[in-house]
Amino acid sequence: MAVNKPLSSHDAMELDKDCSIVLELSESDPLFDKKKKLLQDMGFSTKEEIHVKRSSDPNWISTSLKVMLQIERIINSDETELYFAGDEPMDMYGPRNELEALNSILQLVESSLSSACLMQKNVLQEFRDAIVDMMSQSGNKNILETTIVEGYNSDKEIKLLQWGENNGVKTRLEIAYVEGAGRGAIATEDLKVGDTALEIPTSLIIVEELVQADMYHALEKFEGISSETMLLLWSMKERHNGDSQFKIYFDTLPEEFHTGLSFGIDAMMVLDGTLLLDEITAAKEHLRAQYDDLFPALCKDHPDIFPPELYTWELFLWACELWYSNSMKIKFPDGKLRTCLIPIAGFLNHSLDPHVVHYGRVDSATNTLKFRLSRPCNAGQECCLSYGNFSSSHLITFYGFVPQGDNLYDVIPLDIDAAQDDFTEGSSISNWTTHMVRATWLSHNCNIFYYGLPSPFLDSLRRARSPMPHTKDLLPENLKNEIEILEDLRAICDDMMDNLGDADLDDRKNTNWDVKLAIKFKDIQRSIVSSVLTSCYCGLKLVKDELSKCLAEDTPVSKQI
């Protein structure tokens, strides 16, 4: 039977030693002022020292973690998250932000563990275990079922994995065809937080140094040509090189990439009335101008280096889609950030709730790129990473898909001309120069003065009506003003819905992949606008009911005769 020994005086002193974690918002953050304001509104400074010490409170760990998470969510947030954050609960930042914040805290705790004394290590270890458990629980809430399509021939992918393993790749993943996602990376065993799902040596990463000297010299005369463009042109030729080191990799690439850049006329017609139409058109015009600057001049001047049959517009577009949809920005030990193609890693699909969020830095000790898990991935489940905080319009244009679930970055930008100097009293974030809306069902604050809509946008509408500072008091003049701005917004959304057209007129029987994707995007846009309209109607009812109460209270009761 174990006996609890009393603490020695030395142990007691060690236990009393203060152990703290410092959370700090960098002054170089481009959103420093907005984040600072939001932190201050929540009672925090830009540098907070959280004391990690056992307490008589049994919930001391969860209490400390809750505070740290509130701070780190803001520190890790981007512009869109900040815009919608003002009056919302902290869990509205989304699963990716949650994992980023927990990862940041975990790194700080693990850094403190390395220099802590024995008793502090015990406390910090408890803290670390609680963070990892929270990351695991976060993953359990958002598990998407992975359905493998049986009978898919994956010989090329199997050969690629074998080639990788023969050249130093370490993987706990296999390639399979996933229903609704195409080819994906499936965990071959249960993976927990911190496990490395995939490790790739730098020798297998396609970087700018691979561009041959003769090609490099031929391209030198083109002023301002980027290393990414050089790699793009190199890959067009390397794709057909039977002796290429990366032949097995190129053999696994599709003959066609189904991204928005390959949309046909029917799909573009479906997109009429959306900003995605403009986005795809502008992107294709840019690429066409880039191609025309290079060809046919390069083929004419250097036919041995740039054979005309390998450098057609169609093949150039294919290479652009390859690099847009498969490349990753990686920081190397020399401090340089390079755009790379990474064989095998390209099979890791995007998710709004990814397993891997940090993968952009080469480990200098092993000279490998490691894909470590930020939440668990069970055997047979698709292992996903995050391509970034992108809207569905961006993902369609450059990647060719719409993610599963509610994308917090599916926003509709709005052009509102309003003064920017004053802001509504109590507003968390002021001085926004651009405005946007997203699906209002994502909001938890549908109360009067909020309606599930972003406060910066509502404040801009209020300023457009009157430049005087506004309060959120239930006064008749404020309520009348609210009715006017909600009517204005309803009129704006009615016009937007008209521009999107009737859903029943879209060619839903058309089996073309691009038309289906275009219809899916347009449906997302309609659902966003429809949600805003619903919020306007509900908000108007709320405000009018409140105004009736106010007016009734102000009306004197008639004397009885």
Bridge partner residues of 547 (DSSP): none
> Of the ranges 52-56, 87-91, 213-217, 468-472, which one carries the lowest mean pLDDT score?
87-91
Q: Are strands 173-178 and 182-187 parallel, antiparallel or unpaired?
A: antiparallel
- Please give the pLDDT value at position 15: 43
Given this model, what pLDDT does residue 507 score?
A: 65
Determine which of 70-84, 355-369, 426-440, 531-545 has the lowest per-residue pLDDT on average. Answer: 426-440
What pLDDT is stored for residue 247 in this prediction?
95
> pLDDT per residue over 242-295, tens digit each?
999 999 999 999 999 999 999 999 999 999 989 999 999 999 999 999 999 999
pLDDT reading at 393 higher than 50: yes
More confidently predicted of 151 and 307: 307
Q: Give residue 542's pLDDT band: very low, low, confident or very high (50, 70, 90).
A: very high
User: What percent of the chain is modeled with pLDDT above 70?
Assistant: 88
Cis amide bond preceding 296, omega within 30: yes
What 3-state DSSP class applies to 413? strand
Mean pLDDT of 383-408: 94
pLDDT of 425 higher than 50? no
pLDDT score of 547 more than 90: yes
Residue 499's contacts (CB-CB under 8 Å, 6 or more residues apart) are 273
Rounded Cα–Cα distance for residues 399 and 280 (Å): 12
Q: What is the number of other CB atoms lying within 10 angstroms of the CB of residue 209? A: 9
pLDDT bin (cut points 50, 70, 90) of residue 241 is very high
Cα–Cα dist 248/252, whole Å:
7
The pLDDT-based confidence of 561 (bands split at 50, 70, 90) is very low
pLDDT of residue 423: 44
- Under 8 Å between Cβ of 485 and 531: no
Q: What are the tens digits of pLDDT across the range 472-500?
A: 888 998 999 999 999 999 999 999 999 99
Return d(Cα 549, Cα 556) in angstroms, integer: 13
Structure tokens of 114?
């390395």
Average pLDDT for 103-110: 90
CA–CA gap between residue 333 and residue 549 (Å, rounded): 67
- Residue 551: CB partners within 8 Å, gap ≥ 6? 476
Query: For the chain, how big is the Rg over CA atoms in Å?
Result: 28
From CA 245, how far away is CA 163, in angstroms rounded?
A: 10
- What's the whole-number mean pLDDT along residues 308-330? 96
Closest to 294 in 3D by CA, of 225, 216, 237: 225
pLDDT of residue 212: 82
Q: Residue 221 has what pLDDT?
A: 77
Distance CA 307, CA 237 (A): 8
pLDDT at residue 421 tops 60: no
What is the rounded CA–CA span in Å between residue 360 and residue 301?
38
Q: What proportion of the chain, given as a percentage, has pLDDT over 90?
A: 62
Residue 146 to residue 361: CA distance in whole angstroms? 29
Average pLDDT for 454-476: 85
Q: Would you state the pLDDT for residue 17?
A: 55
Distance CA 400, CA 262 (A): 9
Distance CA 52, CA 107 (A): 15
- Mean pLDDT, range 518-532, rounded to an integer: 96
DSSP SS3 for 231: helix
Q: Which of 58-62, 141-145, 189-193 is predicted most confidently?
A: 189-193
Confidence of residue 503 (pLDDT cuts 50, 70, 90): confident
Mean pLDDT to the nearest integer, 374-393: 93
| Distance, CA of 469 to CA of 479 (rounded, Å) | 14
- Mean pLDDT to the nearest integer, 229-253: 94
Look at 137-141, 370-374, 514-518 and tell me which has the smallest mean pLDDT. Answer: 137-141
Per-residue DSSP letters for 499-523?
Answer: HH--GGGS-TT---HHHHHHHHHHH
Per-residue pLDDT band for 179 (boundaries 50, 70, 90) equals: confident
Does residue 522 surpass a pLDDT of 50?
yes
pLDDT score of 118 more than 70: no
Q: Which residues contact 410 (CB under 8 A, 6 or more apart)?
A: 391, 392, 393, 438, 439, 524, 528
Distance CA 39, CA 36 (A): 5
| Residue 3 binned pLDDT confidence (cut-offs 50, 70, 90) | very low
Cα gap 338→328, rounded to integer Å: 8
How far apart CA 492 and CA 535 sit, in angstroms, is: 13
Q: Is residue 4 scored above 50 in pLDDT?
A: no
pLDDT at 319 over 70: yes
Structural domains in the chain, CATH included, are 9-137 (3.90.1420.10), 141-202+342-403 (2.170.270.10), 206-339 (3.90.1410.10), 411-553 (no CATH)
